[in-house]
Structure 1
């Protein structure tokens, strides 16, 4: 059985009763998430499912023009490649590590087998899918309605929520890809945020933030998304359920 730190480290895994987690545990492998590494490439078959224990992974949409824009972000509350349970499939987005960390990785075929045998795992997939839809909906609206400086502040807050430091290891190139804007635009926006005190420094590849001022600079989407995420992923799911009973089939449990 994998040690408790792995269970606590990812909120989806932490929520599983012990008997259901044991369906996954023998096949989970702890792997490093290196910054800027592509875990899933758009159009490629999904072979692995990643459950981050730390760090942050962005889902990027690649446009024919070569431009990219982020459609979602996950950390220890989610997983990358989890929709492979729907059957052999190809990824519709590119999953890129934006902040380095550690993940538990499992072959997609093994995860699919466990998914078919566990109502709790199917519910976890359903929970994750709901969270992604919330992100997709709000990001689409935010990109259409809000200025780039407010959107950058929101992205920095989303990333900050998933790390333990006020210094965010993020290059301007990575920010331009997240936002779908030119690097020159990123430079101007970072300068504006620095003038307001929301960003205290902007060294090469490192952005130091002032959290309260960054929240003032962000659009309302950040707070709306944070509240919805807290309802989808209750804080108690960060604790291991070491004495829980296996999940039983309940109406609506399957994802």
Structure 2
């Protein structure tokens, strides 16, 4: 069951937690903590964005779907990101599908409510800019990596990105179908790549629906994109970014207006 979150230090999402307390206090009454079940589709490509999600735990993959049915992942986010940010600029349809790959929780808010608050709180607008920069950075790196590096190196990179965003140890709940979707290759190719990673002991086992990794060996197999991308995203979502949010000009603290869509907010 959904329930309102309380303002406090245990917000879960890194950017929401970095907001000045006054800005977080404005958002908090409208945030709902919701579960993110494994394999849940939060939004499909072409659908209107009905909710914004700020993950607190778990991992979500952004999937690009082509007309011929082929898919490929363009980014993976956890508590460093958000789903549905385009709707912060106004009503929008999603350019891609967002699927929960590791179960967790998120803070959910309606786009209209978030947009109305964003217009009055510069620090929240700054958080959207930071999250957008981090996501675009990941898109650019993934595009270059897909063009230049082997399937083995790319799979190692995805496994590391997902491992970074989970707290369940070295066993990742990923099926071969999911890995095929992430990589944009056939399942037979995934089988071959997993066999190669097992031979190098970067993957300890790949039982049905699970992949057990050896992190150090996996880092040795992954291309340089993993560490480069991680450093750049961490730099964007960093203490420097936190300082920028707290340096945002304070709004005129007048009482918030009544929202015409309040009845739809459960």
Structure 1 counterpart SS, 2:62: strand
Give the conservation status (yes or no) of the 8 Å contact 1:18–1:245: no
2:207 pairs, out of 192, 196, 203, with 203
Q: Deviations over 1:166-195 (max 9, x none)?
A: 111111100000100000000100010011
Q: How many residues align?
A: 245
Q: Is this contact kept in 2: 1:20–1:247, CA < 8 A?
A: no
Query: Which residue does 1:86 correspond to in 2?
Result: 89
User: In 2, Cα distance between the equivalents of 1:127 and 1:169?
Assistant: 29
CA distance in 2, matches of 1:207, 1:237: 34
Question: Larger Rg: 1 or 2?
Answer: 2
Question: Structure 2 CA distance, aligned partners of 1:182 and 1:194?
Answer: 19
Is the Cα–Cα contact under 8 Å of residues 68 and 180 in structure 1 kept in the other structure?
yes
* 1:65 equivalent in structure 2: 68
Taking the TM superposition and a 5 Å limit, the aligned residue runs for 1:47-126 are 47-126=50-129
Give the Cα separation in 2 of the matches to 1:148 and 1:169. 20
Q: 1:177 aligns to what? A: 181
TM-score of the pair, normalised by structure 2: 0.88
1:139 to 123, 138, 142: 142
Structure having greater relative contact order (Cα 8 Å, sep ≥ 6) = 1
Off by >4 Å, runs of 4+ in structure 1: 235-238
SS at the partner of 1:170?
Answer: coil
Distance across 1 between alignment mates of 2:17 and 2:71: 33
2:249 match = 248
**Residue 6 of structure 1 contacts residue 104 of structure 1 at CA under 8 Å; is this kept in 2?**
no
Mark the CA change 1:186 to 1:57 in structure 2 (over 3 Å): closer, same or farther. same
In 2, Cα distance between the equivalents of 1:52 and 1:105? 9
Q: From the superposition, tell whether residues 111 and 17 of structure 1 become closer, same or farther in structure 2 (CA, over 3 Å).
A: same
Specify the SS of the correspondent of 2:196.
helix
Indicate how the Cα distance of structure 1 residues 147 and 128 shifts in structure 2: closer, same or farther if over 3 A, else same: same
**CA RMSD, Structure 1 to Structure 2 (Å):** 2.0
- C-alpha offsets along residues 18-69 of structure 1, whole Å, 9 cap, x if unaligned? 1111221001111100111100111111110001000001111010010110
Q: CA deviation at 1:230?
A: 1.4
Query: Aligned to 1:91, what secondary structure does the other structure show?
Result: coil
Quick one: structure 1 residues 235 and 168, their matched pair in 2 at CA, closer, same or farther if it must change by over 3 Å? Answer: farther
Gaps of 5+ in 1: 251-255
What is the rounded CA distance, in whole Å, between the counterparts of 1:132 and 1:246 in structure 2?
A: 23
Whole-Å Cα distance in 2 between the matches of residues 86 and 116 of structure 1? 10
Give the Cα–Cα distance (whole angstroms) in 1 for the partners of residues 10 and 32 of structure 2. Answer: 10
For residues 45 and 141 of structure 1, what CA distance do their matches in structure 2 show?
29
